Structure 1
Amino acid sequence: MRTKGALFTAGTVAAIALGTVGLSSREAEAGDAAKAASSAAPKPRPVLAPDPPAEESPKALPPVSISVDGALVRCREQAAQPFLVRGNWFKKGTDSNKALAEAIRYRTEKYGYFPGYGSPRDNTHPPRFYAEPVKFMGMTVTVNQKVGLALRCVEAALNATPAKDEYHPHSIGGIRFANTYRGSEISNHVYGIAIDIEPDRNTCCGCVPPWTEHPLCQRRVSSIYERMAMPKSWVAIFERFGFYWLGHDVLQDTMHFEFLGDPEKILDRQAPASPSPEAPKPSTSSPDGGPPQGDAGSK
């Protein structure tokens, strides 16, 4: 069912201690970099070189399925599409303006038109037209309806492995209705294809203050994975289903996942499906599961 807006309450604001200050400047730092005719990535405060994509995916992960319209459907594994990865727009030898324009055109076509970015000829509907709430690990988040299917696949995979018991997040944020970038970039939250998990516990140490002031950002560590509460196993599973983790970006935004796979390839309706482990019951302490729009999140 389509919904015209996101379901958020203020109940989780107190839990997101770092999420209510400095968001616009956090994203604006990255957005301003896109305006510059530079072949280098934005240069926030250097903290730690980003790690390569997680390669330690769970071994022998069985195929997972989700229920769609009363029938079990197999989830299809896929990688993020490179032309949508933010860091690739600023690589040496890349026409960043052209790369960014192509990424905006694709996102507009697939997820909706946001005024000022792209063309309504590619899609007459706004992103909120395609947004709907979805349950994820006991929380509720509003995202693009197809990305909601991908999130359900991630949940099914987490529940099929020990990863489900390694971490229990209490908050999550999804779609936003205002672009918090300045310049030519646009937030993937605007399209409903990005989520932020527990901004108070999963850091953005390459961003501007107050994000850099988090205690985990002050440690000397050997890996970006040591700067967050979320385990590496979760990152690995997200990446199997088309999500890109912005912990790999120069911003080291460890709370942030964005769906950069092909939304038409999330499910394999031709493959035989088998039941997946049951999802945990939704939390009763925070019905919406995430912070109000604009209070937490990233690009």
Structure 2
Amino acid sequence: MAGTNLTLVTEFLLIAFTQCPEWALPLFLLFLFIYLITLLGNLGMIILIHMDRRLHTPMYFLLRHLSFMDICYSSVTVPQTMAVLLEHGAALSYTRCAAQFFLFTFFGAIDCYLLALMAYDRYVAVCQPLFYVTIMTQKARWGFVAGAYVAGLFSALVRTVSTFTLSFCGNNEIDFIFCDLPPLLKLTCGDSYTQELVIIVFAIFVLPACMVVILVSYLLIIVTIMRIPSAGGRAKTFSTCASHLTAVSLFFGTLIFMYLRGNSGQSSEEDRVVSVFYTTVIPMLNPLIYSLRNKEVKETLKNILRRVELS
């Protein structure tokens, strides 16, 4: 039988970027720079929000958790990528690959849920301003965040169990920067219909569900903004949502391109570029987006710098 010649995979070999060894050191330094900026930017955002009482609002409460998730999310993949570059490849045991896959999915799913919650927060602030304080109470905030963490844990468990009950055989090389779903599916053999169906259903319900919340929230926000008589009032109201809308567009745009497209025409090189963007670049950009496009954050940062200069 043909199946008897197949060898089950017990470890995975990450070989991304190894085809051009002369680029290993420059790429390593680039990833190291991006990772340090990610850590400093997101830690700085957390500290700023903690230090200024004016930022102790529901929106910044959610943003603080988003910054923490971006640190965790990036830390799961970027150090692994740097190790691959230094060692010209890296071997991961089946268990390590599954653990990395679980953590990446866990933090990524929480990011999705937090961005959806932030869209709902903006909807309440713009469309229901009189009820904002009574709806977004401290108890409600913690409830929303706890729900995001629990939902993220459930999503990660379902996705990881469904993926790693598949049979991997033949070539164990992954031309990728970490253990992600698209390259793992290319290594499967045998009947994997049930597991792949669960994975697809997960993708259909998690990503689009969060997107529906975001799209409906912003549709209602736009309707409310268009009813404001003055152009200045419309611009001021929309500016409170611009940072979040930019972050959402970047994050969900790359995830949709990666996970909800067809299998035809995919290339490893194209997948690598997209994966680097949503695992490495976006966590670095988020604090920049929220600081450069947010008047309150910029004022807080200026006040802290003045204090440092005076001291």
TM-score, scaled to structure 1: 0.30
**TM-score, normalization by structure 2:** 0.29
Higher gyration radius (CA): 2
Tell me which protein shows more strand as a share of its residues.
1
Larger relative contact order, structure 1 or 2 (CA cutoff 8 Å, min sep 6): 1
